[in-house]
Chains A and B, each alone.
Chain A
Amino acid sequence: MTVHETESHEPVFVGETLARLEALAPRYPTRMALLLPALWMVQEARGWVSDGAIHEVAALLELTPAYVRGVITFYTMYHTHPVGRHFIQVCTTSPCNLCGAEDVARALLEHTGCGELGTTSPDGRFTVMEVECLGACGFATPLIIDDDFIEGVTAAGVPAVLARYT
């Protein structure tokens, strides 16, 4: 399969990363089932899934780039553009909403300097995204910052939480 490079792309799946992916292959009867794990590895290595990475993954798993793009866009957790150094997901679905989640989201926008949901702060430090139920409804409001799951955040507590991420 030919890979049409649309940008300069340093391959992700070389050496140890490629070996990690191929070690998963015997778990599944198809190569296609490696797609979500492969995309997670790309995001872990690069912070987002670029067009070049889409082509690389497609070639590796014998899929088309259009197919891979179609799958990526179904899921909310893969980034198709660069995000801030720290990616913040804040839940505002009803159970958290009842407990002040929208105030937490507003405080996050204010104290990160993002101003708007989905944008990156001018210093490149944060991106804030409003997400649906994070499955920690009893411990409102939960945030996910990068790989950290943080429970019981209040609007007043936002600056202290953000201070941990430089």
Chain B
Amino acid sequence: MGYPHPIHSSETPVLSTHFGVHEARTYAGWVARGGYEALRKALTMTPEQIVDEVKASGLRGRGGAGFPTGLKWSFMPKDDGKPHYLCCNADESEPGTFKDREILRWTPHALIEGCAIGALAIRAEVSYIYIRGEYTEPYHILQAAVDEAYAAGALGPNALGSGKRLEVFVHRGAGAYICGEETALMNSLEGRRGNPRIKPPFPAVSGLFGQPTTINNVETLAAVPHILNRGAAWYAGLCLGNPKSTGTKLISVCGHVQRPGTYEITMGLPMRELIYDACGGMLPGRTLKAVIPGGSSVPIMTPAEVDACVTDYEGIAAQGSLLGSGGMIVMDDSTDIVYQIMRLARFYAHESCAQCTNCREGTGWTTRILERIVRGEGKASDLDLLMDLAENMTGKTICVLSDSCATPVVSGIQKFRADFEAYLSGARAPALVGV
């Protein structure tokens, strides 16, 4: 199993430096590459010093929301006498997103070290890495790395001889997209159905097992050792002009490009350069039709928006979409976009936990209406009906799964209306739905 591509000149390898290097997975191999030095340093720092360093780096949550990591850590209470928990969200399930998987299977110790440092920052002794059940290979690699870290004394009651207790436990999910939502993840870890919880209380007040908890994405935590090793100023300097989006970002590119895969870019790289240079552009004879840049939950972009876009939080927002998780789905002119939006709606309908009416009913209705359009049985009023439904699915529920289903439908109808109308008028032949 080799890493699929050599580093491209448009990339800035930081997290991905050792992707594809088997030795880097082992404890000795990681230490030989400078591993666990950052944890050693963190063990000499106060929680406030770690938080300040990460704040100064400008690191923002890489799971999708982009919330400043240091600020999130600073919300944790001090001297409250309660156990604190760090949860690492390794439930990567957002369609188009497969970047954390590379960290989990190539540099598991970067994540373990990031967890340990994050735990110190929030005054926790225990970190749980919640990994999706389907990630069988990454799970075995990660668990082996954790076992090695314990055997070497980097984790345990006396981490690296510091006298401090740092535990990292790997917990397997069992197949549920919604468990990537932070409060659903906590419920699942507690042995419950993965229903999201109403906020407030926020996790920093009452999270896992009712105790103060911080939840961070894999890529976020894996960046932390680099920041401690090389300094906040170095990390903050890794941006191409926008100081609000610093550092590097793993972008997993899939769909109709010549070289799909996970690319690490400096924030601010033109999206065109990523798609056409690093990924080799479209397949021969094809042209770009649409891009979903940040996992399936963000608005669809047109080729003109892609051309004008720089790849960072603000740059993609300026083109009407979101960086999200960095899961980029590229669609060429052969794509039946109505069919693909129908398929996305079906995904959300399948994954709805069903506790909120607007989501449970809305995702199902949206799917069935889109299916009938594809089957050639749509009505002229269906597009208005879908837009009306989408409005009732946005901002009305406990979590944003419902909003996420509405997003591609709304942006699809707004930007690719002619494709829908071709089905409705009969100009496009009906298609079979499903396998």
Contacts and interface: CB of A to CB of B under 8 A. Distances in A.
B136 A130 contact: no
Nearest to A104: B435
A27 B173 CA distance: 16
A135 B132 contact: yes
B254 interface: yes
B101 interface: yes
A60 interface: no
Contacts of B94: 133
B193 A137 contact: no
A61 B191 CA distance: 10
B343 interface: yes
B30 interface: no
B190 A98 contact: no
Given A94-B329, A98-B329, A136-B98, A71 B191 contact: yes
Contacts of B83: 29
B435 A135 contact: no
Interface stretch (A2-10, A11-19, A34-42, A156-164): A34-42
Nearest to A36: B174
A113 interface: no
A138 B261 contact: yes
Given A29-B209, A32-B190, A36-B188, A95 B171 contact: no
Interface stretch (B112-120, B344-352, B389-397): B344-352
Q: How large is the interface on A (under 10, 10 to 19, 20 to 34, 35 or more residues)?
A: 35 or more
Interface in B167-221: 167, 169, 171-177, 188-194, 209
B345 to A, nearest CB: 10
Nearest to B135: A135
Given A70-B193, A74-B194, A109-B435, A95 B96 contact: yes
Contacts of B174: 36, 39-40, 75-78
A30 B136 contact: no
Contacts of B434: 102
Contact of B252 (A32, A61, A76, A138): A138
B63 interface: no
B134 A75 contact: no
Interface in B3-33: 4
Interface string A47-78: 00000000000000101000000110011111
Interface in B131-169: 132-137, 167, 169
Nearest to B209: A29
Nearest to A134: B134
B134 A32 contact: no
Contacts of A77: 133-134, 174-175
B171 A37 contact: yes
Given A93-B347, A117-B435, A138 B254 contact: yes
A165 interface: no
B324 to A, nearest CB: 14
Interface in A118-141: 130-140
A124 to B, nearest CB: 22
A36 B132 CA distance: 12
A98 B335 contact: yes
B177 A95 contact: no
A88 B101 CA distance: 20
Contacts of A131: 134, 175
A46 interface: no
B327 interface: yes
Of B95, B101, B350, the most chain A CB neighbours within 10 A belong to B95
Contacts of B261: 138
B98 A135 contact: yes
B58 to A, nearest CB: 27
Interface of B: 4, 83, 92-98, 101, 126, 132-137, 167, 169, 171-177, 188-194, 209, 252-256, 260-262, 296, 327, 329, 331, 335, 339-340, 343-344, 347, 350-351, 353, 434-435
Interface of A: 27-30, 32-37, 39-40, 61, 63, 70-71, 74-78, 89, 92-95, 97-99, 102, 105-106, 109, 117, 130-140, 144, 147-149
Given A37-B171, A136-B101, A149-B136, 17 more contacts: A30-B190, A36-B172, A36-B188, A36-B189, A75-B173, A75-B174, A76-B174, A77-B133, A78-B174, A98-B331, A102-B434, A109-B435, A132-B177, A135-B97, A138-B98, A139-B260, A144-B134
